[in-house]
Structure 1
Amino acid sequence: MKISTKGRYGLTIMMELALRYGEGPTSLKSIAEKHQLSEHYLEQLISPLRNAGLVKSIRGAYGGYILSKMPEEITAGDVIRVLEGPISPVDFTEEDDPAKRDLWIRIKNSIAEVLDSTTLAHLIAYQDDGSEPGSYMFYI
């Protein structure tokens, strides 16, 4: 499974909204400018996220978008499934070799476990400190 720009840019939008959670609405224009992305493309991505109940739109001069839940309650898997569809490394049928089918299922489950255990809060915390999760600093 290859994550397209829809999934990657969708996560970018959601991480920006998570960074600004509780500060009021954020415009897509500001996100597009910060990340040098097409505002028009982001507008196409925000609609399915809104329809899925992950974001809310706020109208008006100071409007924009906010997360509908806390960053700790929205996973990368939620975002990817909305924008990319079901998580599956390959399409396979019941007629496939059982050993290969088992491999594809294990890969699918592993990918899903990582995406579903990674929240927006995890992603922005990782972005803020720049270190790898679980990395340690040793002083000698």
Structure 2
Amino acid sequence: MADSTVPPSLPCGLINAANRYLSAEPFRFQVVATGLVLRLRQVWMLRFVPSQGAGAAGQAEESGQRLHLLSWLQRFLAADPNGKVTCDQESPGPGALFLLRQYPDGKVCKLHPPRTLHCPPPQAPAPLTPGPPPTAAAPEGKV
């Protein structure tokens, strides 16, 4: 029988915009984004945090799922308000809570709630409007 006190979790790999996997390194519990392929050091457990009730969730939390990220070293990923990321907490602290927002095209964005981060929804590129044609200027002194 499953333990009902353990929150549901999901293993995954996190990729940045440069297509590198986020890695948890054992030396000083550093976090780097250098992995080219998904290996043990790049596997993270998404531990979903149950909501506190209908009135407890704020407007920002209504648009995403609250979660903690647990590394293969059994340490929690955390970020401070200045953006410094660490992976040395043995239990989830105040900086270890993240929001996961999913968009209709399948992409996701991980947000850190204490700070307002800009994560715009994916949009189609704006159509190009033709402007006036460039005029060629004659060099000075020559006609």
Normalising by structure 1, we get a TM-score of 0.23
| Greater RCO structure (CA 8 Å; 6+ sep) | 1
Greater share of residues in helix: 1
* Structure with the greater alpha carbon radius of gyration: 2
Greater share of residues in strand: 2
Normalising by structure 2, we get a TM-score of 0.22
